[in-house]
C-alpha cells in the first residue's frame, strides 16, 4: 500500500465533530451527497468529509465578512489560507478513531457475494429423475432396459451410452 493510500485510510478512521458556527444553515456536498447542518448544530463524520465541510463553511463566513468592506476597498482578499485554517479550528473537533476494518480476501468476498445472490435469487430445485424416465430415455436410444434393475443401475447404463455418444 502506498503512503498516500495509507494516510487516506487513516484519515477515514478519524472521527470529527463539525459545528456550524454561522448564524444561518449551511449546506454543501461531499462525494455527491448533500449535507445540511443548521446554525449552531453539530454533525459527526469522518475527517475528510468534515474537513471539506469546514473549509467551505469558513470560506462562506470569511467571504461574507470581507464583502462588507469590499464596497470601500476593491483590493481586499476574501480570505487567506491562514484565516481558513484558524476558522476551521473553531469549527472542527477531533473526537476519536475507529479501529481498522478487517480486510476480506477476494475469495471470502466472492463467497459472501454468492451467498447474497443465492438468497436474493434462489435456484429452483431440480426434480429427481424417476426410474420410469430413465427407462423411457434408454428405450428412446434404442435399448431394451431390464425393468428389474435399480434406478442407480439404469442410470449407469444411460451414462455409459452417453459416454459412447449414443
* Per-residue pLDDT at 14: 93
In a domain, 57, yes or no: yes
Q: According to the model, what pLDDT value does residue 93 have?
A: 94
User: Among residues 77, 97, 117, which one ends one of the domains?
Assistant: 97
What is the structure's pLDDT at 74? 64
Residue 2, in any domain of the structure: no
Within a domain: 149: yes
Q: Are residues 20 and 82 in the same domain?
A: yes
> Are residue 60 and residue 141 in the same domain, yes or no?
no
Residues 91 and 34 in one domain: yes
Same domain, yes or no: 64 and 136: no
Number of domains in the chain: 2
Q: Are residues 15 and 93 in the same domain?
A: yes
Average pLDDT of 68-86? 79
Residues 11 and 66 in one domain: yes
pLDDT tier, 36 (very low <50, low <70, confident <90, very high otherwise): very high
Confidence bin at 7 (pLDDT 50/70/90): confident
**What pLDDT score was predicted for residue 156?**
92
Whether 125 is in a domain gets the answer no
Q: Which residues of 70-108 are buried (b: 16+ CB within 10 A; e: fewer)?
A: eeeeeeeeebeeebbeebbeebbeeeeeeeeeeeeeeee
Domain of residue 27: give its range. 7-97
Q: What is the mean pLDDT of residues 51-57?
A: 96
Looking at per-residue confidence, does 74 or 115 come out higher? 115
Mean per-residue pLDDT for 136-144? 90
Same domain, 65 and 138: no
Amino acid at each position: 500500500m502506498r503512503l498516500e493510500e495509507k494516510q487516506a485510510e487513516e484519515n477515514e478512521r478519524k472521527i470529527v465533530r463539525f459545528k456550524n458556527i454561522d448564524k444561518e444553515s449551511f449546506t454543501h456536498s461531499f462525494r455527491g451527497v448533500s449535507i445540511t447542518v443548521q446554525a449552531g448544530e453539530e454533525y459527526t463524520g469522518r475527517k475528510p468529509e468534515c474537513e471539506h465541510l469546514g473549509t467551505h463553511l469558513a470560506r462562506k463566513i470569511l467571504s461574507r465578512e470581507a464583502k462588507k468592506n469590499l464596497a470601500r476597498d476593491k483590493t481586499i482578499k476574501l480570505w487567506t489560507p491562514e484565516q481558513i485554517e484558524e476558522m476551521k479550528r473553531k469549527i472542527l473537533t477531533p473526537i476519536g478513531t475507529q479501529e481498522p476494518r478487517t480486510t476480506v480476501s477476494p475469495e471470502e468476498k466472492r463467497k459472501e457475494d454468492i451467498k447474497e445472490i443465492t438468497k436474493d435469487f434462489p435456484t429452483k430445485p431440480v426434480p429427481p429423475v424417476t426410474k420410469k424416465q430413465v427407462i423411457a430415455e434408454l428405450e428412446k436410444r434404442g435399448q431394451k432396459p431390464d425393468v428389474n434393475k435399480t434406478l442407480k443401475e439404469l442410470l449407469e447404463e444411460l451414462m455409459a451410452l452417453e459416454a459412447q455418444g449414443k
